[in-house]
Amino acid sequence: MQYLSELESTINDMVSKGRGILAADESTGTIAKRFKSIDVEASEENRRIWRSLLVSTEGLGEYISAIILFEESLNQKIDSGELIQQAAWAQKIVPGIKVDKGTTALALSPGDLITQGLDGLSERLQGYKSQGARFAKWREVYAVDQHLPSQHGIQANAEMLARYAAACQAEGIVPIVEPEVLMDGTHDIERHAEVTQAVQLAVFEALHRHKVVLELMILKPNMVLPGKELRRAEPDEVAAATLRVFRRTVPAAVPSINFLSGGLGPEEATANLNALNQQAADAPWKLSISYGRALQQTALQAWHGKAENVAAAQQALLKRARLNHLAMLGNYQAQLEND
């Protein structure tokens, strides 16, 4: 492989005990919704200020190994004049980029979605790499009910993830592979486990078919959960159901499983991660995070778009990152939330 040493170096920098990934790749529309919740205009300057706040948080690199950025972030600078990706790497936080172009309906497959963005991907990856991005992320989404996702939908989405991952490795970019089985709905935890298992099996079959090197990728999956319209599952139940599925489906060659939070609140996401690590002492992979809202929410609420609140917001982010660091070690306790 042409870029083997480069890919190995990036994996070594990203996969680190007790450190996780901060997902700050919200699209313009998504970040507008987040800002609306705190009555802040989603202007380009406010987006820059917010992302600058994140990467400028002193000490964040102790708990965060990588950050996923949105495309416009690669051209934005913090107040000192450094590019955002340069400021991240100054704390040994590896910068990466979201490269998919969002979902659309899968033709002739009602209810299934498919992600767009493969056209021109190799050329875009070359451009992002020249701007400092060392990894990429692509998300496929699976709705769950009694009939969804269809087998066709599962296979089509797996093929997209594998083609994306192969394109990344061919350009010296580490791929984060994100198959998200949604928690929206009224399904029970057994149904979510069944779908997650089918999805993971299809994904790894496709990755193998496309010759993706598993040691040089990161998996970003959902936890196994009941639909959010049902009862909340206890962390130990989530951990047991999730590990049962992943032990059946994820090869030991994958270095790290970095879970998405998928609509979980900050405390619930941290407690679930802690239970996973407590139950998985013998797991062949590191169990970590690639959280977005579950890391940023408390900081966003502390900030409220005001310069005088930046320090408080950074402290909130640092605390949330530290609690997840403890959860990665299986040492989180709920009472630490009040410290």
How much is the average pLDDT of 317-328? 98
Percent of the chain at pLDDT > 90 equals 97
Active site residue 220: yes
Give the pLDDT band of residue 229 (cuts 50, 70, 90): confident
Helix (H/G/I), strand (E/B), else coil: 265: coil
CB 147 within 8 A of CB 109: no
Q: What is the CA radius of gyration of the chain?
A: 19
Helix 44-55 × helix 310-328 angle, to 10°:
50
Mean pLDDT of the chain: 97
Burial 145-163 (b: 16+ CB within 10 A, else e): eeebbeeebbebbbbbbbb
How much is the average pLDDT of 262-269? 95
Q: What is the pLDDT of residue 188?
A: 95
Selection from 177, 185, 180 nearest residue 147 by Cα:
185
pTM of the model: 0.97
Selection from 308, 286, 311 nearest residue 299 by Cα:
311
- What is the phi/psi pair of residue 177, to 5°? -100, 115
The residue to which tokens 């040492």 are assigned: 331
Among 98, 137, 220, 286, the active-site one is 220
Chain segment 131-175, per-residue pLDDT in tens: 999 999 999 999 999 999 999 999 999 999 999 999 999 999 999
Is 34 buried (19+), middle (13-18) or exposed (0-12) by CB count in 10 A? middle
Chain segment 44-82, per-residue pLDDT in tens: 999 999 999 999 999 999 999 999 999 999 999 999 999
Among 171, 178, 268, 286, the active-site one is 178
Chain segment 241-260, per-residue pLDDT in tens: 999 999 999 999 999 999 99
Active site residue 178: yes
Chain segment 28-38, per-residue pLDDT in tens: 999 999 999 99
The span from the CA of 47 to the CA of 74, in Å, is 12
Task: Tell me which CATH code domain 4-338 carries.
Answer: 3.20.20.70
Q: What is the pLDDT of residue 339?
A: 86
The residue to which tokens 């009555």 are assigned: 39
**CB neighbour list of residue 129: distance below 8 Å, 6 or more residues apart:** 171, 172, 173
How much is the average pLDDT of 107-135? 98
Is 86 buried (19+), middle (13-18) or exposed (0-12) by CB count in 10 A? middle
